[in-house]
Amino acid sequence: AHSVHQIQSGQVIVDLCSVVKELVENSLDAGATSVEVRFKNNGLDSIEVQDNGSGISPSNYESLALKHHTSKLAKYDDLSSLQTFGFRGEALSSLCALSTFCVITALAEEAPKGKKLDFDSSGRLQGTSVVATPKGTTAVVEGLFEQLPVRRKELTKHIKKEYGKVLGLLHAYACICTNVKFTVKSAMPKGKNATVFATKGNPTTRENIANVYGAKTLSALVSLDLQLDFQRTAIQNKDADDSHHKILVRGHVSRPVFGEGRQTPDRQMFFVNGRPCGLPQIAKAFNEVYKSFNVSQSPFIFADLVMDTNAYDVNVSPDKRTIMLHDSAALVETLKSSL
């Protein structure tokens, strides 16, 4: 049973990005307005995510990291109209199987005192101790994948690239989340904590972009606000109350500079209803339109696709990172002509 749990966990937590995604989404689900992510040795030694959210109630301690424990899913129906990021109760349980995992948490009424909760590899609570901590929760992941030596070796080998990818993901969260202060810090062994980037809890994504990428990048951007409307295919039509997809594409893109222009570094972020995700077909559509204008540099793209939850499926992969858009070919065509 132990190794089965390990294998399943390895499908939920596949890399550094999954760790950060799961923990940050838990913080956002808990209503945090401040999220701080700290890496030691690029995440190889530890990854910590601290928030000022609700904190965890003592009645939840025992079952917190047990498989399929979630406080977020009231009934099965909710799966189709998902509002919170998490819902399967697999992240913490998986992290227990794949690292040395602990949680420090305090409810508003407990702070500045709280509890440190240690879990064993099967997610059972091993012990609690009193610690000083502000309201909110800190999740601490040490020695990721040490239980899976081959994967640990791979992670170590590619850590620079993995760390780069994780920063990209954190840029995306920091830009899309308005009114949330994001801070990312990094320390090398024996080195001091250095701030990698930080946002200020801004009310707009524009200000977030300025904090993350600088005012100069922001000044090269124009805002994007498209309303796409196209026919659904017959298959999706049967239980839909509308025969059309109505999708908003909102965000910021670099001005199409003709020929020799200002260097726009390769920064492209896509979201579905505010959730960062890779959308290769959508990315391709944008880049092709820019190419058709003879823009040599790859554009800056920050695009949030706002659409009905029945227009896509997030439950196709255990790590929930792959999003399947229904009618994606029609969407791409409509998007290209609107752009």
Task: Using CB under 6 A, list all residues that contact ligand ADP.
Answer: 22, 26-27, 30, 51, 53-54, 56, 60, 64, 69-72, 86-93, 137
Q: Exposed/middle/buried for 130, CB within 10 Å: 0-12, 13-18, 19+?
A: exposed
Nearer to Mg ion, 13 or 91 (CB): 91
Q: Which residue lies nearest ligand ADP, judged by its C-beta?
A: 86
Distance separating alpha carbons of residues 283 and 280, to the nearest angstrom: 5
Residue closer to Mg ion (CB basis): 86 or 318:
86
By beta-carbon proximity to ligand ADP, the closer residue of 71 and 315 is 71
Neighbours of 48 (CB within 10 A): 19
Residue 49 Cβ vs ligand ADP, minimum distance, rounded to whole Å: 7
- The sign of the CA dihedral 39, 40, 44, 46 is negative
Give the shortest CB-88-to-Mg ion separation in angstroms.
7
- Considering beta carbons, is residue 92 or 155 the nearer one to ligand ADP? 92
Binding mask 19-38 for Mg ion (x = CB under 5 A): -------x------------
* Close Cβ partners of 31 (under 8 Å, ≥ 6 residues apart): 53, 54
**Residues 6+ positions from 41 with CB-CB distance below 8 Å:** 187, 188, 189
By beta-carbon proximity to ligand ADP, the closer residue of 29 and 162 is: 29
Helix (H), strand (E) at residue 332: helix 328-338
Tokens matching residue 142: 């040490």
Pick what 230 binds: Mg ion, ligand ADP, none; C-beta below 5 to 8 Å, kind-dependent: none
Phi, psi of 169 (to 5 degrees): -65, -40
Ranges within 65-94 binding Mg ion (CB under 5 A): 86, 91
Choose among ligand ADP, Mg ion, none what residue 92 binds, the Cβ cut-off being 5 to 8 Å by kind: ligand ADP
Binder of residue 167, out of Mg ion, ligand ADP, none (CB less than 5 to 8 A by kind): none
- CB closer to ligand ADP, 83 vs 204: 83
Least distance between ligand ADP and beta carbon 186 (Å): 21
As given in the structure block, the two tokens for residue 33 are 């307005």
Sequence-distant (6+) residues with CB within 8 A of 284 are: 332
The Cα–Cα gap between 18 and 15 comes to 5
Residues of span 91-110 touching Mg ion by CB under 5 A: 91
What is the contact surface with Mg ion in residues (CB under 5 A)? 26, 86, 91
